[in-house]
Structure 1
Amino acid sequence: MTRRSSRSADLRLLPLGGEGPEHVTGDGRGGLLTGVADGRILCVDPATGRVREVAHTGGRPLGLTLRSDGTLLVCDAERGLLAVDLATRTVRVLLTAAQGVPLGLCSNVVEARDGTVYVTDASARHGLPDWKRDLLEHIGTGRLIRLSPDGSAEVLLDGLQFANGVVLTADESYAVVAETGAYRLVRVRLDGERAGEHDVLADALPGFPDNLTVADDGLIWVALAGPRDPLVELLHRGPAALRRTLAALPPRLLPGPRPSVRALALAPDGRTVHDVRRRPRGFRIATSAYHAGGRLWLGSLRGGVLAATELPPPPARETGPA
Structure 2
Amino acid sequence: MSRVRAGGARGRESRPLSALRVVTPHIEGPEDVIADADGSVLAGAADGTIWRLHLPEPAADGTARPAGATVPDARAEAVAHTGGRPLGLEPLAGGDLLVCDASRGLLRVTPGDGTVRVLADEVAGAPLRFCSNAVMAADGTVYFTVSSVRHALAEWPADILEHIGSGQLVRLRPGGVPEVLLAGLQFANGVALAPDDAFLVVAETGARRLARYWLTGPRAGRADTFAADLPGYPDNISRDAAGTFWIALVGPRKAGVELLYKAPLAVRRAAWKALLRLRRLPPPHPTVRVLAIRPDGGPSHDLCAANSPYRGVTSVCRTKGLLVMGSVTERGVAVCPLPGDQGAAER
Shorter-chain TM-score category?
A: over 0.9
CA distance in 1, matches of 2:186, 2:341: 34
Tell me the distance in 1 between the aligned counterparts of 2:164 and 2:203. Answer: 16
- Number of the residue aligned with 1:11: 20
Query: What is aligned with 2:264?
Result: 239
Matches within 5 A, 1:95-114: 95-114=120-139
Residue of structure 1 equivalent to 2:300: 273
Could you say what secondary structure the match of 1:287 adopts?
strand
Match of 1:127 in 2: 152
* 1:217-228 correspondence to structure 2 within 5 Å: 217-228=242-253
Unaligned segments of structure 1, at least 5 residues: 318-322
Matched, 1:288 2:298: no
Q: Normalising to structure 1: TM-score of the pair?
A: 0.93
Identity of aligned residues (%): 47
Q: How does 1:1-322 map to 2 (within 5 A)?
A: 4-7=14-17, 9-47=18-56, 48-251=73-276, 252=278, 257-311=284-338, 312-314=340-342
Unmatched tracts of structure 2, length 5 or more:
1-9, 57-72
Give the secondary structure class of the aligned counterpart of 1:17. strand
**1:132–1:255 contact (8 Å) kept in structure 2:** no
- Residue range with higher mean Cα deviation, 54-63 or 66-75: 66-75
Q: Deviations over 1:117-140 (max 9, x none)?
A: 110000011111111111000000
Q: Please tell me the residue identity of whatever aligns with 2:51.
A: L
RMSD: 1.9
> What is the CA-CA distance between 1:150 and the residue it aligns to?
1.6
Does the residue aligned with 1:166 lie in a helix, a strand or coil?
strand
One-letter code aligned to 1:154: E
- Shift of residue 29, structure 1, vs aligned partner: 2.4
- In structure 2, give the amino acid aligned to 1:173: A
| Aligned-partner Cα distance in 1 for 2:137–2:271 | 40
Deviation at 1:18, TM superposition (A): 2.5
Counterpart-to-counterpart distance in 1, 2:151 and 2:177: 25
Give, in whole Å, the separation in 1 of the partners of 2:28 and 2:107.
20
CA distance in 1, matches of 2:157, 2:118: 27
Deviation string 1:158-180 (CA, Å, 9 cap, x unpaired) is 10000000001111110110000
Instruction: Answer whether contact 1:18 1:38 (CA < 8 A) is retained.
Output: no
**Within 2, Cα distance between the matches of 1:123 and 1:256?**
22
- Deviation per CA, 1:58-111, whole angstroms, max 9, x where unpaired? 000000011113211100001000111111101111111122232221000111
**2:191 aligned counterpart, secondary structure:** strand
Task: Decide whether aligned partners of structure 1 residues 230 and 22 sit closer, same or farther in structure 2, where only a CA change above 3 A counts.
Answer: same
Structure of greater relative contact order (alpha carbons < 8 Å, 6+ residues apart): 2
* Alignment TM-score, normalising by the size of structure 2: 0.87
For residues 14-33 of structure 1, the C-alpha deviation after alignment (integer angstroms, 9 at most, x for no partner) is 02413110101123323111
Contact 2:24–2:75 under 8 Å retained in 1: no
Structure 2 equivalent of residue 320 of structure 1 = none
CA distance in 1, matches of 2:112, 2:342: 38
